[in-house]
Structure 1
């Protein structure tokens, strides 16, 4: 009996047939060696048969009978399919049991070979495929017959215990030889390990062997003791076979859906290339396809074709290549009710039947792949928008800051930074227009990009400012020298004339460089130092200046700022808050208010957080400042609540605050002190801070959740892992960053990000709040996209607590906390 799982090729034979047929265009070297080896063994066996063959006696009629029975056993196959593969069951061992009782072992080998050849010819199998089946049959039957003769002699009595044992051993050895040859052929073809293939479905094959022996014994018993019952034996055998086939079908279909579940889970990547690679690999294994193709269209209309196989070989290029495979089963890639954007195709080198159940499984896999590809593509768009400058395609400021901080905190070696600014760039804009200015920036970016070496990061910071991050030097002196050399190289790249809008321009630039040991400062400080050096270069009229710490006054200003903040915290009237309400986009009712800290500086006036928070994050003053903001926010809410106004207040948490293990306890104490329900406090956290790999961040966020406060993911889409941040931490609200809202009317990508974010929030049951809404058109677009709420100057500017209270009271209060 054959129980191997293998591809069904042509007119379906055993699994060995499938392998040989599928590979006849290009046989792997190990498969060719296996066929050659089986041929040599078969020749040896035939030579042995020829030496022992005797003319038939009175039982000559049994020879054609056994030959016909072998052919029928090879043709009467139980077929149960799974993904282009099948459990193919023949009854060869049962026939061998009968044949070895009726005729001599030598004639049994010849009749088995002849019957198999007749069946292969009837099915019109490929010659190589047919010969491999015949050779395997000759070798298996010869070895099995030899062992049987050694145990009980030729033509054993099946009724005696020795004869029954000999026939059982014979059937087992014949099946084992077939299974070993088949497993080797499948493993060599698919690139799997021999052990994996050999033990695949071993239980089903063992049961099949038992049934073969039982059927053979039944035929012999009926023939000896009740020959008149032979006429009713075929229906009985048919019932047994169908019962076995039903059991096989149930097991293999259950395994198919289990493997399909694993395949769809394995595709859960957020990188499009990883999604395609996994989909191709899993599809090739699940459906035993020679090649799997995924053809799809990017947003810009470019078509991409990715081809691969179960061995992990992947090729990507443009569609239209020659496909050598004869059979292809396509399924459209459709996400939801939208249009098709591509196809997943299973390709087979031979004619292959893919039954209806397996086509349904393929359709399911295609739907899963479509959804995963769309998620990965949106994630890539988010990543590009968050990390790339839309004008030049270079890295942007957030990307440079993140990579710089990663290097500076690595503790290995040094890092250098060059800051480059074009001279007289405004004159180009004023003279030739802003479009020409943009063209000039693109040309400059291309010139600089051509000089960047591996390991460096080139970024556009905004306007006409560019930066080059250079890690990797062993010592500070070497890093400084390397930075100066690289700066001169990039300045030299701008030395030749540049043609913009048909006008030849000569561009000059000024650059500042700085080098620092890792761990000595953060990226904000490194950028400030490079900026200081660059402006000294401009002031002195030279191309390049290196940062000089002795001439730097900013560190003194930071010390003064810290001292002044201590005085501000000791006073009662310097640290104040303003509140900016967010509103329901449909009804207009306020949903709550975001707390914005302000510093009434005695000399510099009212300061926004950007003027002092970044510097304070490097001091121990950030914790007491955060505590003061909580006190002011919760005190304001308590006052509102006493006057019948129930509007949640949202407080921004800095990245440094998430490293404070005492923060949750402090928040809990203040909630109790002001008698504020925890769910009326919303903590806004940027995704960059949330995605820190430090365990302490997870501990703090978990403790805050356990308090019952709400979490809001602020500036969504500006970090590197927007989708992962939602999956990693349970939040109640997503705030769409203002840059996407502002650009929504002019950028399809920005609109796609807003639409995706709103859809994601709706799917996860979260509230989506758009920041920075300044026009009626933006509000209308957000309403059309289904965004729940918004915040911005179009509705309300930041207000003092009393003014915010008046607004909230006039509008009737919020519609409740985030759900």
Structure 2
């Protein structure tokens, strides 16, 4: 509990004294002079007894108190308004403030002593404030009554009754205002909320108090014996007040209880404990609260001698204890404390369990990607994180993988035991970590194999990159071979190291590991510390050379290679046509290369194009695909089914200066308009700084051929492509389409792409659409067209021609049905 500021208390006390003096002077002036006010209408002795009776009335009114909710704390309401009505009628105005001061002082001093015996301590400053505040309210009240209509020693008139009511209201507002300041300063909370809550709580009581005061005045004026009937009536009225205030207090308390228990639902132990402490203070009026958990952890205030201690138990298991200090007698709130303790115990138990599960999950996640012995990444982490690092590198940047294997490691286990072997592996892991750079990815693959992925090689050619990687590998091997002492035995273990260097984007980490493993075994079998990858000694590379020879034969024969075609469909509204549905028209057809190998079976482009791109066959293969695709498009056009055909063009093909002339010659041979050819180019190629590629793209655009950005969003500067180059179409990568419903980031990328393309007047085609929900979402975003198994799978040319004719007939029937055909 915060102490009431001393300056504020002193100010209220001084105001009380000044108000009493002002009331004595100003109010007394209405009777001619202050001295005359003491003797008007009765002898001095009679006036003395009247004054003592008035003090007694104030004492009785203050002793009959009711506890009421006030903001974050509580206050006491009394019968002060009824006492003021009686005092204003029975005493000269100048004596009323002094009667209030004396009566309130006596009553509150008695209450102060009674509270001290019950263990509830109130400071002298609180007592002084209570007396001063009510004296100020009483002085303001008598001043208001006298200003409107003096009522002392006069028959009550309607104006006099109105003056008494106004005086009671002034007393009510001033007293409530000062008490609200006190409560908000001591207990916290806003002054406005506390003041409004107390005004509404006592409004009905004020009306009853004024009525009771007027009845007492009427009974004294009519027949004093009637006063004997008032005590039971006033007692019943007091009980009614009490029940009404308790109901209101219980309703607010249970509302606070619901909010406090709802606020306990935290997944963090600290947050749950702090919420429990805040709620306990608010609900039970505690000055201090502390939660002590079974494990010894504690939260909240220091509580030396808790007035209330509640065990927090869930299912027979003790979670901790709740200590409260400065709590008034709970009485009927014992059951609330029990319920709150159970709710807090459950919340803490859930939070502790959640913390344990979170720690377990973090540990499991850590263990899933780390080697338990050395703390380095394991093979799984090397593959996933290594591929991620390769994807972040610019295409063509040199990267290296260093793979090392400790020679004759079994000798350590056989001679010193597996514990010593583990210590050797830990020492090697530390040396690998010390020798690596900040950007290196370090991993223990298992047993005595370690790997280092190096991505910060300086560009300058393959030979320079390989030399730098080999030098790093030699230093690493030398550092590992430095003698170490294990169990008092000095030993040195030398590794065999394999090095492979490749361009980022050309291979994945699995391939790098395979090549590094070949190099490492070359070093081990050759008796040298370091060896680098030699493609000539790679059986898989020999197989690739055979693949190139077989492709050359396939191009010459022309029977094994074929094209499959997959349409892109406009995402317009779906309209019913005689029991069927008419989807959007086919906007373009993508040509997909297939190879029916006589020995290997059916091969997709990804299985042979990486080999072809590094050979001289890329040009002839591109020419074959263009020739075949344009021939098909020309046939569709002659049949009245003009549809653009899209062909994927690689970076290697765009580097050939004669490509525009080849395209122009083929378009002329088939008499096909240039706009019916779409070249799909990846964004990384379009962003190439090669002047040859820039020149080739510019010449192709001058022919009238359309350009499309393929696999948009998977590169490094996606949106730059749309503003830098004159493209007509954007194809959103299937990965983002598949993840739209699950990943907000993917949906945001698609939305941003569609919005930007619309502003640039570009078509947007979404790849890999397989579900109606994806189609609806893309159409709602404004995507132009879509391609995927939901509409059409890749199909043979004959099947596509049939589909085009069928859709043309359906569209004609639709136009006739609409009355426009």
TM-score when normalising by structure 2: 0.50
Determine which structure has greater relative contact order: mean sequence separation of CA pairs < 8 Å that are 6+ residues apart, divided by chain length.
1
Using the size of structure 1 for normalisation, the TM-score is 0.50
User: Which one has a bigger Cα radius of gyration?
Assistant: 2
